[in-house]
Amino acid sequence: MPKQRRLAAAIALVCALTALAAPGTAFADPAPTPSTTAPAQPRTLEEVGKQIDDLYRQAAVATDAYNLAEEQTKQQSAQIVQLAQEIVKGQDKIKRLKDQAGATARMQYRNGGLPPGAQLMLSGDPETFLDGADALRQGQQAAQGVLGELNRTQADLAAYSKDATAQWKNLEANRVKKEAAKKDITEKIAAAEKLQDQLKEQEKQRLAELERKKEFDSQTAWLSTGILKEINGSASEQGKKAVKFATDQIGKRYVWGAAGPDTFDCSGLTSQAWISAGRPIPRTSQEQWAQLPHVAIKDMRPGDLIIYFADATHVGMYIGDGAIVHSPRPGRTVTITGAGSMPILGVVRPDK
C-alpha cells in the first residue's frame, strides 16, 4: 500500500475512534439496518431526551384526561344511586297514595255507591247533616290533596327517570373517554421506555446528567430574576399540614392515575395533601388551575400549588426557599426540585 494511502486510512480510523469515544454525543438505533436501505442517521442524545420528554408530556396530558373522566364517572355513579333511591321512595309513595284513594273508593262502594253528600241529604236528621257537612268538606279536601300529591309524585318520578337515563349516557361516554385515555397513556409510556431501553448504561447516565443540567439551568435563570427576594409569605395552618403530607410521601413511586397511599401521580399528590389538611380540591392539575383562586408568583406561600406548562398538565406544591415537592413522571419518585425548573403557568391557592 503506498504511503499516502496508508496515511489516509490511519487518519480515517483515528477520526472514527474519536467520534465513538465522545461521551453521550450521539445515539444510534441498535436495531440492525436492512442492507437494502440507507443507514439511519445517528440522533444526538439531546434529541433522544427531548423525544422521551415529549412522550411523557403527552402521557401526562392523557393522564389528566383519564383522571377527569374517572372523577366525573364517580360523581355520575353517585348521582345515579341517589336517583335510584329517589325513584324507589317515589314508587313507595305512589303505592301508599293509591292505597288511600282505593280505601275511599271501597268505603263509597260499601255505602251503596252514593257520594257522601247524598248520604247526608237522605239522613233526614238536620243535626247529623250539619255535623257531617264539615267532615265532608275536610274529606273532600283530603281527597283532592291525595290526588294532587299523587300527580306531583308521578311527575317527580318521570323527571328522576329522565335524569337517570341522561346520567347513564354520560357515564358510558366517560367510560369510553377513560379507555381511550388509558390506551394513549400506556402507548406513550411504552414508547418512551422503549427509547430508554435502547440506550446503553453510559448513555442513560449521560441523559440523566443532561436532564439535571436542564433543570438546574432553568432554576438558575428563574432565581436570577430576583423573584425569591419578593417571595416571603408564611404558610397557613392548613398549608403547613398539606406540605407535611406531601413531603412525607417523598420516595414513593409515580404511577399515573394514582392518588395514594403508596403511589401518586402529580395531581394525586397535591389533591390528597390538601384533603389531609381538610380542604378538598379538584383532582386534576387542569381543574386545579381552572377552579382554584390564582395568586401572583411573588405572593405565593408554602402550600400553594404551582401549575406548569401552557396546558396545565403538571403541578407541584411550593414548600418554600424556591423549591417544590412533586411526583414527576413514570419511572420517578416523589421528590423535591426547584420551583423554576419547569415552565410556570401560574400559582393557585386552595385555602384562599
Q: Which residues are catalytic?
A: 266, 314, 326
CA distance 323 to 342: 12
- The residue ranges of DSSP E strands in the chain, in sequence order, are 253-254, 263-264, 294-295, 305-308, 314-320, 323-326, 335-338, 344-348
C-alpha dihedral sign at 111, 114, 115, 120: negative
**CA distance linking residue 168 with residue 173, whole number of Å:** 9
For residues 256 and 56, what is the distance between their CA atoms, to the nearest angstrom?
A: 11
SS3 at position 347: strand
Asked if residues 311 and 319 have their Cβ atoms less than 8 Å apart, the reply is no
| Of 73, 249, 100, 262, nearest in space to 171 by CA | 73
Instruction: Phi first, then psi: give them for residue 261, nearest 5 degrees.
Output: -85, -15
SS3 of residue 314 by DSSP: strand
Q: In terms of DSSP bridges, do strands 323-326 and 335-338 run parallel, antiparallel, or are they unpaired?
A: antiparallel
